[in-house]
Chain A
Amino acid sequence: MAAGISTAHSVVEPSPLVRRIAGAVVILYALITIVPLIWIGLTSLKSPPDSISYPPKILFEPTLEGYCNLFTTRSRQTAEYLQGLPAASGRCEEIARQRSMVVVGASNFVPRFWNSVIIAFGSTFCAVTLGTLAAYGFSRFKVPLKDDLLFFILSTRMMPPIAVAIPIFLMYRELGLSDTKLGMILLYTSVNVSLAVWLLKGFIDEIPREYEEAAMIDGYSRLQAFVKVVLPQATTGIAATAIFCLIFAWNEYAFAVLLTSGTAQTAPPFIPIIIGEGGQDWPAVAAATTLFLIPIVAFTILLRKHLLRGITFGAVRK
């Protein structure tokens, strides 16, 4: 619906002037809204001195220094030592040499990013699988205390994360799940499954029961009807739900910062602690932020027609 295909107003059609003014105001707001995002992208291409210049530079010579600093660790060397080295191999080494440094290794960014990918995809897969089954159960069958169960499922998502983190911290310590990917996948699955159930129930409710009933008259069992009739019909819904779960797990910060510190740390708690020599290395932070946000921006554009459903747990559909 976000694209706005709906019945045209007839007598209540706004006049061209009103339309133009409305358009101008909305476009102005949209432009202000995306300035910070553009600034993130621009900063990631600046050199550290350019990034902190006053007045803020819009025109500058783009460099990959931010990205290089993000992916590598460097150490400062004396001029004599640098003289004695062979010619720099690779773009990042060259940039480092200009700052009288040498690249000594890879930074933690790639492993942290991978943690994010694994945890986000793992928890999304689990949440959508569980959610599809449960949503079908709630949509098609008489379940005792159905409304209470559905409310219970939703309420788990509303809990304050810090309040949940206290017992989870203790529980994971007992079970040896602290700072493990499995622990984070389980936790994110439990948070996402509530959204998945509610969203998918909305999608499955829209598939006419007659389809399955016809299939079952043709000799399909209930399970076969579910797999061969309902699932293919629900593909769009499942995909939209999966993207929502993916974005949530990708963005999550509170649990990640409290429950992970090393091996399972995801990108959100890692990015704010990227520091260079003498304070935060803003181009590197911006580079990390850019790489982190690009997938979400892409997904949001894919999802734009289903955003409304997603943010209202499937209640508002138009």
Chain B
Amino acid sequence: MNDTSTVRRLATRAAEATPPPVVARVGGLGDRAIAWLFIAPTIVLLLAINIFPLIWTIYLSFTNFRANRPNAAVEWLGTRWYTSILTDPDIWAAMQVTARFVVATIVIQTVLGFLLAVLIDKKFRGHGFWTTLILLPMMLSPAVVGNFWTFLFQPQIGLFNYAVSFVTGLPPSSFQMLGDVSLAPWAIAIVDTWMWTPYVMLICLAGLRSIPDYIYEAAEVDRASKWRQFWSITLPMALPFIMLAVLFRGIENFKMFDMVNLLTGGGPGSTTEVASISLKREAFEKWRTGYSSAFAIILFVTVFGLANIYVKALNRVKQR
């Protein structure tokens, strides 16, 4: 009780003591001050939680620091880790695993997503409801749902194997989606496709709906065939949107971790060891902090470069 009144009294006094020009500037005209007052907290937070650690990582990437031996003497190694990562065939192999995963998922998801968008754009009855259903997987946790997919992929009892054997006639225990060297990458691609096709579909749908009707009407008047219309109107005009989806999925899958970690953990062997999994092994299992910092910086610069292109694509779409 007493406290509040004291605070209030102090507040009044402080308000009285504040010179009027300052009040006017903060409260009324000082837009510049307000702008900074509003933006600064966000920037400070990001500097503390993102940029400071980033600079620290850059520093560590030039040293032999190990997180499990914090008291050992830290030695400056220059660019040795970078040279060793960029000549290491194993890391190169991990990059290729990542590349195959990224390319396969992007191709499948773009084709499937675009086709679905074209079909949904026909506005059949109840398309709103079915669209919402299709969109569900995209919002779910890749880790929690990916974990459940390991159950669906079980050789004998799994629903996925059962469904495949139902369609193809193969015995359901004859193939192991997660244990087989040639199937494991596809298992991950299947879950990723299930999850993220809706994402591509939604953006493609926006692209299709951004095409004004009069262009099609004009094409009808010119007696352009539907096939012609698709190739010379629909596809080119939806292309910026498709690019946006492809770039974002590319970036996301380049740094894919959750699902792979839970479905295969990089195995069998190292057939699904994507870059993030290698990085996790180096950083949090072998504790080679300096080495993994250099690796992290290489991945980071790649993603940062792609993010530049992504924002460019974003602005191109925005201008429509």
Tell me, yes or no, whether A and B come into direct contact in the complex with CB atoms closer than 8 A: yes
B92 within 8 A of A: no
Binds A, one of B3-11, B14-22, B203-211: B203-211
Tell me whether A23 and B141 are in contact in the complex, defined as CB-CB below 8 angstroms, given that A134-B38, A155-B304, A166-B292 are known contacts. no
- B39: nearest chain-A partner, CB-CB: A137
Convert B286-306 into 0s and 1s, putting 1 for each residue whose CB lies closer than 8 angstroms to a CB of A. Answer: 000100110011011001101
Contact of A137 (CB < 8 Å), options: B35, B152, B159, B202? B35
Contacts of B41 in A (CB 8 A): 130, 133-134
Binds B, one of A8-16, A73-81, A100-108, A234-242: A8-16
Contacts of B241 in A (CB 8 A): 316
Binds A, one of B78-86, B100-108, B114-122, B178-186: B114-122
- A2: nearest chain-B partner, CB-CB: B131
- A3: nearest chain-B partner, CB-CB: B128
Q: Is the CB of A171 within 8 A of B53?
A: yes
Q: Is the CB of B38 within 8 A of A137?
A: yes
Q: Is the CB of A33 within 8 A of B303?
A: no
Contacts of A43 in B (CB 8 A): 151
CB distance from B68 to the nearest CB of A (A): 11
Convert A283-318 into 0s and 1s, putting 1 for each residue whose CB lies closer than 8 angstroms to a CB of B. Answer: 001100100110011011101100110011101101
CB distance from B221 to the nearest CB of A (A): 9
Q: What's the Cα separation between A311 and B261 when bound, in Å?
A: 24
B144 within 8 A of A: yes
Q: Is the CB of B262 within 8 A of A11?
A: no
Contacts of B284 in A (CB 8 A): 165, 169, 258
Q: Is the CB of B202 within 8 A of A308?
A: yes
Contacts of A170 in B (CB 8 A): 56, 67, 289
A39 within 8 A of B: yes
B90 within 8 A of A: no
Within 8 A of B (CB), among A211-262: 221-224, 247, 250-254, 257-258
Of residues B248, B254, B308, B318, which shows the largest number of chain A Cβ atoms within 10 Å of its Cβ? Answer: B318
Q: Is the CB of A36 within 8 A of B157?
A: no
Tell me whether A311 and B203 are in contact in the complex, defined as CB-CB below 8 angstroms, given that A163-B296, A318-B210 are known contacts. yes
Q: Is the CB of B31 within 8 A of A141?
A: yes
Binds B, one of A62-70, A87-95, A265-273: A265-273
Contact of A143 (CB < 8 Å), options: B39, B152, B198? B39
A96 within 8 A of B: no
A207 within 8 A of B: no
Contacts of B140 in A (CB 8 A): 251, 293, 296-297
Q: What's the Cα separation between A149 and B43 when bound, in Å?
A: 8
Contact of B213 (CB < 8 Å), options: A12, A247, A280? A12
Contacts of B147 in A (CB 8 A): 271-272, 285, 289
CB distance from A261 to the nearest CB of B (A): 12
CB distance from B89 to the nearest CB of A (A): 21
Contact of B144 (CB < 8 Å), options: A167, A189, A292? A292
Q: Is the CB of B149 within 8 A of A36?
A: yes
Contacts of A289 in B (CB 8 A): 144-145, 147-148
Q: What's the Cα separation between A107 and B36 when bound, in Å?
A: 48
Convert A15-28 into 0s and 1s, putting 1 for each residue whose CB lies closer than 8 angstroms to a CB of B. Answer: 00011101101110
B169 within 8 A of A: no
A131 within 8 A of B: yes
Q: Is the CB of A1 within 8 A of B139?
A: no
CB distance from A266 to the nearest CB of B (A): 10
Q: Is the CB of A162 within 8 A of B307?
A: no
Q: Is the CB of B216 within 8 A of A292?
A: no
Q: Is the CB of B35 within 8 A of A143?
A: yes
Q: Is the CB of B34 within 8 A of A137?
A: yes
A110 within 8 A of B: no
Q: Is the CB of B141 within 8 A of A251?
A: yes
A30 within 8 A of B: yes
Q: Is the CB of B39 within 8 A of A133?
A: yes
Contact of B124 (CB < 8 Å), options: A22, A161, A300? A22
Interface CB pairs A-B, < 8 A, 17:
A4-B128, A23-B119, A39-B152, A131-B42, A137-B34, A141-B34, A153-B46, A167-B60, A186-B49, A221-B28, A222-B28, A224-B27, A251-B141, A271-B147, A293-B141, A296-B141, A307-B139
Other A-B contacts than A164-B53, A253-B261, 10 sampled, CB-CB below 8 A, are A1-B209, A11-B216, A12-B213, A22-B120, A26-B124, A43-B151, A167-B56, A193-B46, A254-B276, A297-B139
For the complex of A and B, the 10 pairs showing the least CB-CB separation, nearest first, are A23-B124, A253-B143, A167-B53, A163-B296, A251-B141, A137-B38, A141-B35, A190-B49, A160-B255, A221-B27
